Amino acid sequence: MKILVTGFEPFNGGTVNPSEQIVYRLAAPEGVTLIKEILPVEFGKTTVRLKELFREHQPDIVLSIGQAGGRAEISVERVAINIDNVKSSNGSKLLPDNAGAVPVDEPIEAEGAAAYFATLPIWQIVEAIQGKGIPAGISNSAGTYVCNHVMYENLYQAAVEYPQMKAGFIHVPFLPEQIAHREDKERLAAMPLEDMVTALQAVLEVLAK
């Protein structure tokens, strides 16, 4: 079985991205070939890169991981929506991607469905992480930034080209060092890298079955 696992480079002025650190540390479960990739935080480039990876490796499963700073638990995403949008909900702020792109309410794929559900066993994944004593839950929105874009592309490409490929997305909290010097730190959650790696390794074991 081939599993493609992806993380992201840092973004929004950060110097680390926990998803990248996790990917480096994951080990292939028995019987699994693990392909690792760190994606750019760029809407357009991720689409191109993912298509290359699917063509080259024909993975059975693609599990993408990203940072959702401020969330308190490992969140297993249920759904990806067909929208790229960098405008905050009160409309006052734009978060350009790492190439400076600022899409507002643009469809990701003109021919794509409005949304796709994750095709990985989301509850089994949540329970496996909780079983390690690590907080986890289902999230019903991956946002509208590059993480949602990647989850959407994974599922769209599976729908149109690779029907055997299952896909899903997991968001992880900040690392402690990412909030240590922030003024608003008492309102932000963080999780040690070791726990995140334990959680994602448990996810791989579920997927390998």
Which residues within the stretch 90-129 sit at the binding site for ligand PCA (CB under 6 A)?
none
Nearest distance, CB of residue 176 and ligand PCA, angstroms: 17
Task: Mark 164-193 with x for binding to ligand PCA (rule: CB under 6 A) and - for no binding.
Answer: ------------------------------
Which one of residues 146, 158, 190, 202 is an interface residue with ligand PCA (CB under 6 A)?
146
Which one of residues 3, 23, 34, 41 is an interface residue with ligand PCA (CB under 6 A)?
41
Identify which range of 143-151, 161-169, 182-190, 201-209 contacts ligand PCA by CB under 6 A. 143-151
**How far is Cα 78 from Cα 80, in angstroms, rounded to an integer?**
7
77 is catalytic: yes
**How far is Cα 95 from Cα 84, in angstroms, rounded to an integer?**
12
* Chain mean position to CA 138: 13
Stated as kind and residue range, the H or E segment containing 74 is strand 74-77
**How far is Cα 195 from Cα 209, in angstroms, rounded to an integer?**
22
Q: Does 147 bind ligand PCA (CB under 6 A)?
A: yes
User: ∠144-205-163 over CA atoms, to 5°?
Assistant: 55
Map tokens 């968001």 to a residue. Answer: 171
Stated as kind and residue range, the H or E segment containing 18 is helix 18-25
161 is catalytic: no
Count of residues that bind ligand PCA according to CB under 6 A: 12
Nearest distance, CB of residue 8 and ligand PCA, angstroms: 4
DSSP output for 61-72: EEEEEEE-TT-S
Task: Mark 55-74 with x for binding to ligand PCA (rule: CB under 6 A) and - for no binding.
Answer: -----------xxx------
* Chain mean position to CA 92: 25
Q: Does 154 bind ligand PCA (CB under 6 A)?
A: no
Candidates 189, 205, 204; CA nearest to 62 is 204
Q: List residues with catalytic annotation.
A: 77, 147, 171
> Would you tell me which residues interact with ligand PCA (CB under 6 A)?
8, 11, 17, 19, 41, 66-68, 143, 145-147
